[in-house]
Structure 1
Amino acid sequence: MHPRLLFVIVFLAASAGAQQKPTLPSVNTTVVVLGSPVPVSEQDSARAVVSLDTQRAPLAFHQIEDYLRTDSSVDIQQRGGGGIMADISVRGASFEQTLVLVDGLRMDDSETAHFNMDLPIPLLAIERLDVLHGDGSTLYGSDAIGGVVDLSTVKPADTDIRLRTGAGSFGENEQAAIGSITRKKWSDVLAGDRELSTGFMTDRDYRTENASNEFRFASLLGHSDLLFAGDDRAYGANQFYGPYESWERTKGWFAALTQQLNSSTQLAAAYRRHSDIYLLERDQPEGYKNQHIDDGFEGAIRDQRTLVRNLTLSTGLEEDTDQIVSTNLGQHGRNRGAGYAAAEWLESSRGSISLGAREEIFSGGRSVFSPMISATRWLSRSTTLHASVGHGFRIPTFLDLYYSDPSTLGNPNLRPESAWNFDAGASWFPAARVAATITAFYARQHDTIDYTRASVADPWQASNLPGVRFTGVEASVTWQLSSTERLAAGWTNLVGAQSALHGLQSEYVFNYPVNNGRMDWMQQLSRQVVLDTRLGVVQRFEKSPYAVWDVSVARQLGRVRPYLQMTNLANTGYEEIVNVRMPPRGFVGGLEIMLGGF
């Protein structure tokens, strides 16, 4: 019997006779935690924020990047499977202009933003993804020019264990586990996953391993949270950085403490270490080789309190330190400190206004001032207007400044990037089951960092571009068609100004999608089985459009939960990074076993 047919029979047998009621949630008011000094409802948010619940259909999605792809204003530019080398772009901004957070703590890599998604937290331990569209530097600091992605870790409600194993195309093999313990005054979550593949083509194999432990407890001071995590990724890097069959291995370590000092004040501290070994030619380990180790330290104290009715003030002080030791980049270090304040007046069903400012000071005395203002206005019980203006900035990575090889040159004289972002739009909530929004935006960037060259015979040179501009519109709708069926769709259109190149070739900045359409249709096939269909249609600047269709079917309830994930069903040949092929049609199937009641 064909193995895929056998899997389907087992899947249907395990799902038969279910008694539980449907679990698809309604389109309710979502609490937005990004882009605003205080958590607000989606209706009251002046910023465009998308919240993605990773627990809604956890067996329908394979990677964090799969969730992010459902947002039409997010462009994932990935080099390999298994979440390998996935760059994130929001509203046309470069991958280096998107800030990645875990529980509000910075994860951006100081060596190169190509590693920003080298996240050591297993997907099973992620509860929600929040994506802010547009600048976020006032509240979050450097790198938040185009957007912010914040991953929130799981807060356990029960004591249980989940075990998962699966296999599929291209030698795919995966295992994952998560266990949680909850008690009156403390909880602990231990998670890990492992994935490997022989690759869909030569030198595109990979192996990834992630593990994390999060311990929460009530102390004399207040709530305490300790998070420890690590990852190890080895992969064939065929064509990743040029016409070479390269190889790369990265490792990461992350430790964080969040401590509530009182009802309004919180202390946070984190340490991140990341290492990178790169071989230009995989079969020549004694040939061209780079090794980099970078360390990052972060400390912050944040305060939030109500001054008078409907008026909240948020303030904070932050300190960040980055260091690198590299065979190519040398040894470097830098520090920066910042202070910010933001006030928000909010009256539900009437409107809101937020004002904020941040001053960040770098090593050597240079500083950046980042103000922002945003507002909402209710026109009726179902319609709101929103608008915002803000300033974002980014300091160059160590690779931008100091890297050197025959094909790529850094530039130690690079200036920090900055941008003014403007957006305005309307949201419509005609019923509890329908939410729609449309937003027009404009970004005016200064000193944008890109790699340019005059011809293919020249090396790529890091440089500041003077006049990058993006204008666009984004629209989305979420509709709960019934208690068992949900449809979400979005479309984003971008127009960029290429005059900044002055006839030069660009490596990164202008690989943006002029049109990006996304659709996610989830339906309950039975009382336990969920079918999820995702379609993405992308047209990049000066490229032909392409469509990618993914389908997943999974049992959501019960002790044994089979799943089948089918990717690129139309077998589309496409590239998200120029000259780096993406995988063809693929299948991954497996089982998740739930153990509980301890």
Structure 2
Amino acid sequence: MKIFSTAILFISFIIGAKAHQDNDSTSVDLGEVIIMENRIGIPFNKISRNISVISRKEIETTPARSIQEVLSFTPGVDVRQRGVSGVQANIGIRGGSFEQTLMLLNGIKLSDPQTGHHMMNIPVPLQSIQRIEVLKGPGSRIFGQNAYAGAINIITTLPETKSLQIQGFGGDFGMRGGHIISSLPIGNYRQTLSVSHDASDGHQYNSDFKVTNIFYESGIEFNDKHEFNTMIGFTDREFGANGFYTDAFPDQWESVQTLLSSISHTFDHNNLYIQTRAYWRRNIDEFRLRRNEPEFFTNNHISDVVALEINSAYTSDWGTTGFGVEGRQESIDSNNLGQRSRDFLGVFAEHRIELGEKTDIRAGLYSNYYSEYGWRHFPGAEIGFQLNNSNRLYGNFGISYRIPSYTELYYEDASNTSTPNLSPEEATNYEFGWKLSKSRLKAEVVFFHRYTQNLIDYTRLPSDQSPNPNRWTPGNVSEVTFNGIETAIKYAVNIGGTNAKLQEVSLSYNYINAGLVQQEGVQSRFALNSLRNQFIAGIQAEFLQRAEFTLKSRYIERIALDPYFLLDARIDYNRLKTFGLFVEVSNITNTDYIEAGFVQMPGRWVKAGFSLNLF
């Protein structure tokens, strides 16, 4: 609690100092960002829940080579990587597991019926992303059952001008890679094509990887009412998986290919907005316990998700009403999990109304039919009160729900067994918060509560042998209560002159208390490893109006695991010019740590590269 007290004192000091500062016209106004959430578009500063928006500049200047690494600097988000540069990572929000987080790409759900380990198989190069929206807390009322603890929406854009960007880099552990991103609009037809490749020889035995992404997006406006968009992406990942899932087989190996395609039509006229879209996602996964002996043990899985959605909103004198329907089929063909399929039907409606100039209320209901579990209903409501132009109070309530993955239900190997009769997870969520938003200062304090029933976790009996010969078994934990507090502040300092200027400082602290009572003498794979304390700090500076310096630090403590501290830095030279250079240093303190599984993360490592911005 000393850390929490220090964070509150720091926030109070900055807020007090801000009262005597002038406005900075160069700072970004997040109030101009519209959070769509698939139906009702709401300005960021009118949202009555905790949402973090990662801007394009932050993505470019953060010391990171993947979406996963960028998210690791987001308050309240727990990124647990197996390897580096986005090979595979689990994303948790507010103490939730990777199965309880929904990933989206331009509003399209990337859930995988096989396992949440595949949710970050996103076929978009990091440099093609315009911004990332992180919704913390229950998202089932908005997105359906997978958004149990939160949702992350990755947003790309279609430029209206021609451009060509080339980047290449290299570094320690035989790291090399690069990307090419081109935009070639033709009249009203806009299109982008992105290709990226990252590879490494690995930082330890059997940790090499190759990751290739290809992404094409297009859109055409027929008139001011109708717009068609298409999107197709492919990612190919091959990696040594030493320690990814068990420490009993150091020669594990995996190869994953993911294809995503979609087509959508948008009608937007006067007070009516309707978007219809269809998408298909295929994931092909080959896993071997012994890399060079596929005959010893190999799993082959092919999963498909086909969906059709209609999202709409209508604005009247009584407020804005959102409504729609979606249908989805998930199927898998696996030599381990079998041939299985399940169907979903979702119907949703919500309404947002403003009461006077200070109060707004938003409430809705999402009802899902599952072929295996029948109808389930997710109500939710939000209320916001604008104290003045800068201060906002808000509260919300929501029901969360998640059905088990096919891996939890049926997967078995030498280290894991299955439980076909698992019950779905359910949770009741509350959130109360305060936001401060001024031209140079953004701050937020949030308290949340999540009461979970039937939490799914893997457990096993301990053993004196190493590695442990007992198998992990999924099961339902009866009741778990999560209480947490989140604090975050970002201040555009702008101190200094043309030779050196401190531009921005940021600080966040998050604390989670998980009231989980685990059976004595039983080991937990996920539930007892959730986030407890998270402290993130960062600064941005500029030198000679050409060089940008970013320093990020993290202190992470998880339940029943040793805490660790990480320090990362990046220098960009001529980032927005025709020719630029950059250098990144990760884990400057050479910390010895593990984030997920049994994977020992690398010590200090350096990457450097160049960029060309043409046209």
Would you say same fold, with TM above 0.5?
yes
Structure 2's unaligned 5+ residue stretches are 1-23, 464-468, 496-500
Which of the residues 183, 201, 206 maps onto 2:204?
A: 201
What is aligned with 2:527?
509
Which of the residues 427, 430, 440 maps onto 2:447?
A: 440
Amino acid of the structure 1 residue aligned with 2:35:
V
Q: Describe the superposition over 1:130-172 as per-residue Cα deviations: whole angstroms up to 9, x where unpaired.
A: 0001000011012111100000012214201001111100000
Report whether the alignment pairs 1:546 with 2:568: no
Structure 1's unaligned 5+ residue stretches are 1-21
Amino acid of the structure 1 residue aligned with 2:606:
F
* Contact 1:395 1:416 survives alignment (8 Å): yes
What is aligned with 2:167?
164
Q: Distance in 1 between matches of 2:274 and 2:57?
A: 29
Following superposition, the deviation at residue 578 of structure 1 comes to 4.3
Larger displacement relative to structure 2 (512-521 or 110-119): 512-521
Which of the residues 251, 256, 260 maps onto 2:262?
A: 256
Amino acid of the structure 1 residue aligned with 2:454:
D
What is aligned with 2:458?
451
What is aligned with 1:297?
306
Following superposition, the deviation at residue 289 of structure 1 comes to 0.8
Following superposition, the deviation at residue 482 of structure 1 comes to 1.3
Which of the residues 119, 131, 136 maps onto 1:133?
A: 136
Give SS of 1:161's match.
Answer: strand
Q: Describe the superposition over 1:546-582 as per-residue Cα deviations: whole angstroms up to 9, x where unpaired.
A: 1111100112221101111111111111111142111
Give SS of 2:48's match.
Answer: coil
Report whether the alignment pairs 1:495 with 2:497: no
Amino acid of the structure 2 residue aligned with 1:482:
N
Report whether the alignment pairs 1:269 with 2:278: yes
Q: Describe the superposition over 1:27-80 as per-residue Cα deviations: whole angstroms up to 9, x where unpaired.
A: 553535166953323332111000001344515432112221121200001111
Following superposition, the deviation at residue 501 of structure 1 comes to 4.2
Give SS of 2:529's match.
Answer: coil
Following superposition, the deviation at residue 411 of structure 1 comes to 1.4
TM-score, normalised with respect to structure 1: 0.92
Following superposition, the deviation at residue 261 of structure 1 comes to 3.6
Q: Describe the superposition over 1:324-355 as per-residue Cα deviations: whole angstroms up to 9, x where unpaired.
A: 00111110001010100010113685121110
Give SS of 1:510's match.
Answer: helix
Q: Describe the superposition over 1:378-436 as per-residue Cα deviations: whole angstroms up to 9, x where unpaired.
A: 2233221110000111111111111011321121111111111111021123x310111
What is aligned with 2:595?
576
Q: How does 1:413-424 map to 2 (within 5 A)?
A: 413-424=421-432
Give SS of 1:522's match.
Answer: strand
When residues 57 and 394 of structure 1 are mapped into structure 2, their CA distance, relative to the original with a 3 A threshold, is closer
Amino acid of the structure 2 residue aligned with 1:237:
A
Q: Distance in 2 between matches of 1:171 and 1:575?
A: 21
Report whether the alignment pairs 1:190 with 2:193: yes
What is aligned with 2:551?
533
Amino acid of the structure 2 residue aligned with 1:294:
S
Give SS of 1:270's match.
Answer: strand
Q: Describe the superposition over 1:504-537 as per-residue Cα deviations: whole angstroms up to 9, x where unpaired.
A: 3211122112100111211222222211111111
TM-score, normalised with respect to structure 2: 0.90
Following superposition, the deviation at residue 307 of structure 1 comes to 2.5
Which of the residues 322, 334, 337 maps onto 2:342?
A: 334
Which of the residues 244, 250, 264 maps onto 1:240?
A: 244
Q: Distance in 1 between matches of 2:454 and 2:110?
A: 23
Give SS of 2:409's match.
Answer: helix
Following superposition, the deviation at residue 293 of structure 1 comes to 0.5
Which of the residues 480, 490, 497 maps onto 1:468?
A: 480
Give SS of 1:67's match.
Answer: helix
CA RMSD of aligned residues (A): 1.9
* Contact 1:46 1:387 survives alignment (8 Å): yes
* Contact 1:425 1:439 survives alignment (8 Å): yes
What is aligned with 1:9?
none
Amino acid of the structure 2 residue aligned with 1:397:
S
Report whether the alignment pairs 1:223 with 2:227: yes
What is aligned with 1:211?
214
Corresponding residue pairs, total: 573
What is aligned with 1:15?
none
Following superposition, the deviation at residue 439 of structure 1 comes to 0.5
Q: Distance in 1 between matches of 2:184 and 2:167?
A: 18
Q: How does 1:324-403 map to 2 (within 5 A)?
A: 324-346=332-354, 350-364=358-372, 366-403=374-411
Q: Distance in 2 between matches of 1:527 and 1:425?
A: 38
When residues 107 and 93 of structure 1 are mapped into structure 2, their CA distance, relative to the original with a 3 A threshold, is same
Which of the residues 396, 409, 412 maps onto 1:404?
A: 412
* Contact 2:490 2:504 survives alignment (8 Å): yes
Q: Distance in 2 between matches of 1:145 and 1:581?
A: 29
Q: Percent identity at matched positions?
A: 25
Report whether the alignment pairs 1:559 with 2:578: yes
Q: Distance in 1 between matches of 2:567 and 2:38?
A: 34
Report whether the alignment pairs 1:593 with 2:599: no
Q: Distance in 1 between matches of 2:552 and 2:475?
A: 38
Q: Distance in 2 between matches of 1:383 and 1:365?
A: 43
